[in-house]
């Protein structure tokens, strides 16, 4: 049977068929030049602007395709009548018909009416592909395909979680909830929770571990919600909140967020310090810090100094050498603990990029350690699941810095009033897993510098 595909975009004034747009979204995302949300914004603009419902459907299809990429690719190859070959992302992104077919297979069933209203031909193609795919089993597919993971990643995760790997893989494929951190400078947790429930009309639960965390069900738009607009809450995954709890920042201290990024942990640290002392937010990429001033103003923080560094060896860091009470290094990493939110990441990385990140992480944590005063503490954290970026980096740092002593993470968490702290650690380190703890995957090690 001939396989039909939506027509390719043309230079005429006719709108691009939705399924062709969908294929373009997947192709552009797999180039990894920008995240999926940026691809969606750029692609669905101008002549390709679509209605809100269709836009949501295209976004859901894109994220659905990324979450199940090897499974959809396997089924598509079986429907082609050949023996499935291993997924080659570079080849896939250059194959427009294949990308359209995978997006057809990923199209959300409940969004079928919006597709039919926009373009009957695209809707027919989607219905045909999905009907045929129901007969294709994954029982004889390789383990990596069944798990929805790249082949190189399977043995690395297997070595760490053993028989829990299918549970971990399923958790990584599931969309993440929206977690919030209550800003104690402006509201109490119970007060913020009640305000959110009244504004959103749904159940707002507390996070099981983070003391000041709230969790919203499913996709929730916070723009225009008073508790958010007034700075009572900030969007922050529970795992990220636990990293901040591990730092243990206090009033009046000097604290450095060495790799601040967009500043989520900076805001949390400032609230822990009750807007006292001095809090430095560093990053090497200026655009990451651009939104921070507005966020600081909304949160009511005035004790934060932001600075773009040339690199981890920036000579201006010498001013703080040996003077900082607490340094947080939330290091650049592969981000594989955040796959629930960023399903493109497993396909963006490979063993070579993991090794590159590990080398950078060792340089950064060594540079940041120079700022810590005697008796002060250093926290190294990543949102990666991989030992190479976590325990191996921590062990290398400990081996080369005898003046830093590893501190048990469970004790630091308990001091921050985190319940069930022992369930969140492996050995002396914080180790969070999506399938065990319901949050993003995080690792953290804590050291105290000898006095």
- What is the spatial distance between Cα 208 and Cα 222, in angstroms, rounded to a whole number? 22
- What is the spatial distance between Cα 347 and Cα 87, in angstroms, rounded to a whole number? 10
Q: Could you give the count of Cα atoms lying within 13 Å of 9 in the half-sphere of its Cβ?
A: 17
Give yes or no for a contact between 275 and 302, defined as CB atoms under 8 angstroms apart.
yes
Residue 365: which H helix or E strand, with range? helix 351-369
Q: Is 112 helix (H, G, I), strand (E, B) or coil?
A: helix
Give yes or no for a contact between 122 and 5, defined as CB atoms under 8 angstroms apart.
no
- What is the spatial distance between Cα 74 and Cα 143, in angstroms, rounded to a whole number? 12
- What is the spatial distance between Cα 429 and Cα 413, in angstroms, rounded to a whole number? 11
- Give, to the nearest 10 degrees, the angle between helix 264-272 and helix 292-299: 30
Question: C-alpha angle 345/367/264, rounded to 5°?
Answer: 45
Catalytic residue among 99, 259, 333, 383: 383
* φ/ψ bin of 162: left (φ > 0), alpha (ψ from -120 to 50), beta (otherwise): left
311 labelled as ligand-binding? yes
440 labelled as ligand-binding? no
Q: Is 33 helix (H, G, I), strand (E, B) or coil?
A: coil
403 labelled as ligand-binding? no
User: Is 383 among the residues known to form the active site?
Assistant: yes
Instruction: Give the residue numbers of the binding site for S-adenosyl-L-methionine.
Output: 283, 311, 330
Catalytically active residues are 383
Instruction: Give the residue numbers of the binding site.
Output: 283, 311, 330
């Amino acid at each position: 049977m001939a396989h039909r595909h939506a027509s390719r975009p043309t230079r005429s004034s006719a709108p691009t068929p939705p399924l062709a747009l969908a294929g373009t979204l997947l192709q552009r995302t797999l180039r990894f030049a920008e995240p999926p949300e940026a691809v969606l914004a750029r692609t669905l603009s101008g002549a390709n602007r679509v209605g809100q419902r269709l836009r949501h459907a295209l976004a859901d299809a894109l994220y659905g395709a990324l979450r199940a990429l090897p499974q959809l690719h396997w089924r598509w190859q079986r429907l082609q009548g050949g023996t499935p070959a291993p997924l080659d992302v570079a080849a896939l992104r250059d194959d427009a018909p294949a990308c359209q077919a995978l997006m057809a297979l990923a199209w959300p069933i409940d969004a079928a009416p919006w597709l039919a209203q926009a373009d009957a031909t695209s809707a027919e193609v989607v219905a045909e592909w999905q009907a045929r795919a129901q007969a294709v089993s994954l029982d004889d597919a390789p383990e990596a395909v069944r798990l929805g993971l790249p082949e190189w990643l399977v043995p690395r995760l297997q070595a760490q979680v053993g028989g829990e790997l299918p549970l971990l893989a399923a958790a990584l494929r599931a969309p993440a909830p929206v977690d919030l951190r209550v800003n104690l400078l402006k509201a109490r947790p119970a007060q913020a929770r009640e305000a959110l429930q009244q504004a959103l009309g749904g159940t707002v639960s507390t996070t099981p571990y983070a003391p000041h965390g709230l969790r919203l069900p499913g996709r929730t738009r916070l723009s225009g919600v008073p508790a958010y607009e007034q700075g009572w809450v900030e969007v922050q995954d529970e795992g990220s909140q636990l990293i901040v709890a591990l730092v243990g920042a206090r009033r009046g201290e000097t604290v450095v967020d060495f790799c601040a990024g967009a500043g989520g942990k900076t805001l949390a640290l400032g609230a822990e310090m009750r807007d006292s002392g001095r809090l430095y937010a560093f990053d090497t990429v200026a655009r990451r810090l651009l939104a921070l001033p507005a966020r600081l103003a909304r949160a009511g923080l005035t004790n934060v100094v932001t600075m773009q560094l040339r690199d981890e060896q920036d000579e201006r860091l010498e001013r703080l050498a040996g003077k900082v009470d607490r340094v947080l290094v939330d290091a650049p990493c592969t981000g594989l603990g955040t796959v629930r939110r960023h399903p493109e990441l497993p396909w963006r990385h490979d063993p070579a990029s993991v090794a590159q990140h590990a080398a950078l992480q060792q340089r950064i944590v060594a540079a940041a350690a120079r700022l810590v005063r005697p008796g002060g503490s250093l926290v190294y954290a990543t949102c990666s699941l991989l030992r190479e970026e976590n325990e191996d980096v921590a062990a290398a740092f400990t081996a080369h810095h005898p003046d830093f002593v590893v501190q048990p993470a469970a004790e630091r968490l308990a001091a921050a009033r985190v319940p069930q702290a022992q369930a969140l650690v492996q050995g002396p380190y914080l180790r969070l897993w999506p399938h065990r703890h319901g949050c993003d995957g995080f690792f953290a090690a804590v050291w105290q510098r000898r006095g």
